[in-house]
């Protein structure tokens, strides 16, 4: 199972929200590159970089942070937040992202995303299902669609996408444990995809259970920043 630390960006700073609420923001570091280099120094290979300003505004905003991290580390970085046009997508890839993580667009603009998959290849994309009350949320979790995670997975695995993130918003940032039942359900329904769990992870036991259940990866944010899980403890999952 691949461990993927998350760096969430607002105004160029490393922050964390609680349950996707922009009013519940905590700044952890004003230099995201420094954070990324710390991860790399601990043997981490991948990074999940989230442009929260971009997610809320519907266009990529913090691409300079991506550019700095890609230029000064060897981390395989996926970038998300505000990728809503071909120009935004080009900025994302040109700034050094290995993968573009698509959430809102996967729900609201299937036709355009399908064109991107054909143009760039499905291996360059990760589909993010951020779930609230069983439905996928969009626009930085500020709106809720009528689409379920199962429907979203089915739609895009048919188009060749292999990697899928899934976050239970109700657990995000609370450190109360992941949505094990939701992940098991999705993996049973879609055994051919790589499901990467996100939200609620607070201890290494949660990671062991996710690995036993068959998750391909796990995104960790607040647990690292609040020292609930140390980078040393993550070595066992490498």
What is the residue extent of each domain of the chain? 2-237
Helix (H) or strand (E) holding 51: strand 46-51
What tens digit of pLDDT does each residue of 123-164 get?
A: 999 999 999 988 998 876 667 888 999 999 999 999 999 999
Cβ atoms of 222 and 203 closer than 8 Å: no
Q: What average pLDDT score do residues 199-226 get?
A: 96
Cβ atoms of 127 and 77 closer than 8 Å: no
Q: What is the pTM of this model?
A: 0.93
* Catalytic hit among 51, 53, 78, 130: 130
pLDDT of residue 56: 87
- HSE-up (13 A, CA, CB side) for residue 65: 32
pLDDT of residue 17: 84
Q: What average pLDDT score do residues 106-120 get?
A: 96
Per DSSP bridges, beta strands 125-132 and 135-138 are antiparallel
Cβ atoms of 67 and 78 closer than 8 Å: no
pLDDT of residue 5: 98
The CATH topology of domain 2-237 is TIM Barrel (3.20.20)
R_g over Cα of the chain: 16
Q: Tell me the C-alpha distance between 10 and 118, whole Å.
A: 31
8 is a catalytic site residue: yes
């Amino acid at each position: 199972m691949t461990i993927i630390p998350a760096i969430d960006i607002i105004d160029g700073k490393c922050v964390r929200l609680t349950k996707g609420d922009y009013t519940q923001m905590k700044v952890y570091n004003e230099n995201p590159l420094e954070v990324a280099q710390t991860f790399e120094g601990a043997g981490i290979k991948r990074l999940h970089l989230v442009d929260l300003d971009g997610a809320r505004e519907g266009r990529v905003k913090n691409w300079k942070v991506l550019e700095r991290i890609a230029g000064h580390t060897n981390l395989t970085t996926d970038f998300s937040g505000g990728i809503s046009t071909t120009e935004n997508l080009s900025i994302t890839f040109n700034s050094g992202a290995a993968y573009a993580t698509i959430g809102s667009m996967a729900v609201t603009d299937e036709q355009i995303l399908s064109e991107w998959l054909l143009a760039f290849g499905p291996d360059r994309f990760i589909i993010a299902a951020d779930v609230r009350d069983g439905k996928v949320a969009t626009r930085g979790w500020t709106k809720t669609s009528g689409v379920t995670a199962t429907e979203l997975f089915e739609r895009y695995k048919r188009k060749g996408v292999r990697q899928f993130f899934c976050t239970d918003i109700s657990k995000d940032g609370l450190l109360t444990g992941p949505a094990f039942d939701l992940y098991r359900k999705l993996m049973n329904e879609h055994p051919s995809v790589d499901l990467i769990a996100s939200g609620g992870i607070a201890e290494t036991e949660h990671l062991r259970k996710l690995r036993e259940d068959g998750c391909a990866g796990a995104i960790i944010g607040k647990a690292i920043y609040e020292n609930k899980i140390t980078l040393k403890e993550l070595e066992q999952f490498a």
